[in-house]
Amino acid sequence: MKQIRIFLLSALLIFTGAAALGQGTKSAAAASGPQAQQLQQPAPTIASTVDRQISAIEKQVVEAAEAMPEDKFNFSPESLNIAGGEYQGVRTFAVQVKHVAASNYFIWSPLTGDRLPEGLKDGNGPENLKTKANIITFLKDSFALGHKATATLTTENMLQAPEHSKSPRLYLATFGVAHAYDHYGQMVEYLRMNGIVPPASRGKSD
């Protein structure tokens, strides 16, 4: 009887120790899991928050531009002769893309102090950019300037106007995002008029 009690007591101690060890292992795993990684991430700032917005619209605009075939890059709805449509003189798809990029430069360069690219005189972009590859490079470079611009934002200067501008830094940074979304919507319509589903609207199986 005494041996049985000793056996039961030993088993209880072993079980308790194993449970404690298991709990400690779970705690260690939780501490290194996704939740812990989120806790370890730096706190958001004005710069990082706006930068996320730029990254989001950059992805959509660049993917939309890349989705349009080279031979359709100069498409405009005017060529469809839609009855009752008012598309005379509207921008082609290529100029829509160049306009987003050109505007990015005009809006964000005051934040960084960068000079405008050569040949950039108005909102339609440099006239010498004709190929799809060159236009998309111009577009990507303009968003790179946007990321550089947001990196200059701080809680101390975000409501101050940079040199050669009357608008606060935060307004310029976020207006670039809003403007790009406006023209992204037009790019989407141009894609659909050519039977192309915008990348952002495609399902996983598309």
Nearest partner of 175 among 61, 91, 57, judged by Cα: 57
What would the two tokens of residue 20 be? 């404690």
pLDDT tens-digit series, residues 12-46: 333 344 444 445 444 444 455 656 555 678 899 99
Q: What percent of the chain has pLDDT over 90?
A: 70
Q: What one-character-per-residue DSSP string does 135-171 give?
A: HHHHHHHHHHHHHHHHTT--TTTTTSPPTT-SS-HHH
Where residue 10 falls among pLDDT bands split at 50, 70, 90? Answer: very low
Rounded distance, CA 57 to CA 10, Å?
Answer: 64
Q: For the chain, which residues make up each domain, given as ranges? A: 45-78+89-200
Q: What one-character-per-residue DSSP string does 21-63 give?
A: HHHHHHHHHHHTSHHHHHHHSPPP-HHHHHHHHHHHHHHHHHH
pLDDT tens-digit series, residues 131-161: 999 999 999 999 999 999 999 999 999 999 9
Amino acid found at 8:
L
CB 105 within 8 A of CB 120: yes
CATH tag for 45-78+89-200 (out of 3.40.50.920, 2.40.30.10, 2.60.120.10, 1.20.120.450): 1.20.120.450
**Amino acid 36: pLDDT:** 58
Long-range contacts of 156-165 (CB under 8 A, 24+ apart): 158/46, 162/110, 162/111, 162/113, 163/110, 163/113, 164/110, 165/110
pTM of the entire structure? 0.79
